[in-house]
Amino acid sequence: MDTSHGTHEDKRTIAIETLNLTKRFGKFVAVNNLTLSIRKGEIFGFLGPNGAGKSTTIRMLCGILEPTSGEGSVGGYSLIREPEKIKRVIGYMSQSFGLYQDLTVEENLRFYARLYIADRKTCMENIEKAIELVQLDQYRKTLAANLSGGWRQRLALACAIVHEPQIIFLDEPTAGIDPVSRRVLWDFLYELSHAGTTLFVTTHYMEEAERCNRIGFIWQGNLVACSTPEGVKSSYVNRYILNLKCRPIDRAYALLKHDMTLVRDVNFYGDELHIVVDDAQTALPAIHRVLADAGIAVTLLEQIQPSIEDVFVALAQEKKNGSPH
């Protein structure tokens, strides 16, 4: 975005802004007219199915990939005219992060720190801080190639933050890492956010989406929802979720999946089914009847609040079926 057009207020509070940002690969539109505004210190979660356009968006915002059309600014610099300046103020952990396998943990960090920091003392201090934050001390002399997946991920994160950037892009930073380590990483992201760092994070984990200040859901290149986690859930109007526990669950699924009059959608959630209906009051007794007639033993059937996952599954499916949400 042309920074000269922004108000002073915008400049002080906005970290990332886009207007109709679009990326085409040949005829294929990977990101379509994306308009976003993310404030400083915000944790913005970017969600969407595989191939939706998340990484492509991040690469444009990092100044690595030239947009086809539209505009945007990151840290006050134009995506179109000042991509090199953007690279100085951001940290980027890509989905296939660029660690040097033949360097140790410490050497990888030193490499990234020196790219950005001229002063040697600051460089060393930042490296120590990063090692401490992601708890990599025990592995500092280990080659990146010999780290397990989760630890390699931590190292990649440490490399992305070692120069203490104002804005950090993390493309699936917690993919494939264990729940305890994920929690540790999120605590760390909160710390950064409280200190004023802006975080743009993609994830496929819905409980991580709940931890963001705001979330955007992208589907086939289009931003189809963008709000706080609460806002996203409350936008889910005129649909109700019923939670069903029963035996045998497979038969109940097959039965309900094909009951187009009663049920809009049905999905597995662990050993339960979430049933999407238009009218909970009518559906509850009717579903009880259908299941009883089929000899299925119901242990629980109740209306529940939709989770973010319910909303996104519904959004993606409704888009696929071409019906409005």
Ligand X SMILES: Nc1ncnc2c1ncn2[C@@H]1O[C@H](COP(=O)(O)OP(=O)(O)OP(=O)(O)O)[C@@H](O)[C@H]1O
* Alpha carbon separation from 301 to 159, 257, 275 (Å, rounded): 48, 16, 10
Tell me the closest approach of the beta carbon of residue 102 to ligand X, in angstroms: 27
x-or-dash pattern for ligand X, window 242-281, by CB under 6 A? ----------------------------------------
Q: Using the minimum distance from each CB to Mg ion, give the nearer residue, 95 or 303.
A: 95
Query: What is the footprint of ligand X within residues 31-60 (CB under 6 A)?
Result: 48, 50-56
CB nearer to Mg ion: give 54 or 274. Answer: 54
Site for ligand X in 66-95 (CB under 6 A): 95
Closest approach of Mg ion to the CB of residue 95, in Å: 5
- Per CB under 5 A, does 55 bind Mg ion? yes
> What are the two backbone dihedrals, phi and then psi, of residue 235, each rounded to the nearest 5 degrees?
-75, -5
Question: Shortest gap between Cβ of 92 and Mg ion (angstroms)?
Answer: 13
Which of 45, 43, 150, 44 has the alpha carbon at shortest distance from 97?
Answer: 150
Q: Pick the piece of the chain touching Mg ion (CB under 5 A) from 31-39, 52-60, 129-137, 294-302.
A: 52-60
Tell me the closest approach of the beta carbon of residue 243 to ligand X, in angstroms. 28
Residue 130 CA: distances (Å) to CA of 97, 105, 177, 188, 302: 17, 11, 19, 11, 47
Nearer to Mg ion, 44 or 139 (CB): 44
Q: Are 168 and 198 contacting, i.e. CB atoms less than 8 angstroms apart?
A: yes
- Does 25 participate in binding ligand X (rule CB under 6 A)? yes
Tokens matching residue 271: 């050993």
Binding segment for Mg ion among 8-16, 95-103, 255-263, 303-311 (CB under 5 A)? Answer: 95-103
The nearer residue to ligand X, 26 or 324, going by C-beta atoms, is: 26
Q: How far is the CB of 157 from ligand X (least distance, A)?
A: 17
Task: Work out whether 285 is an interface residue with ligand X (CB under 6 A).
Answer: no
For residue 96, the minimal CB distance to ligand X (Å) is 10
Of 24 and 245, nearer to Mg ion (C-beta) is 24
Half-sphere exposure (CA, 13 Å, Cβ side) for 63?
23
Residue 215 binds ligand X, judged by CB under 6 A: no
Stretch that binds Mg ion, among 53-61, 100-108, 139-147, 236-244 (CB under 5 A): 53-61
Strands 198-202 and 265-269: unpaired
Decide which of Mg ion, ligand X, none touches 193; Cβ closer than 5 to 8 Å per partner kind.
none
Residues of the shown chain interacting with ligand X in the complex, contacts defined by CB under 6 A: 25, 30, 48, 50-56, 95
Residues of the shown chain interacting with Mg ion in the complex, contacts defined by CB under 5 A: 54-55, 95
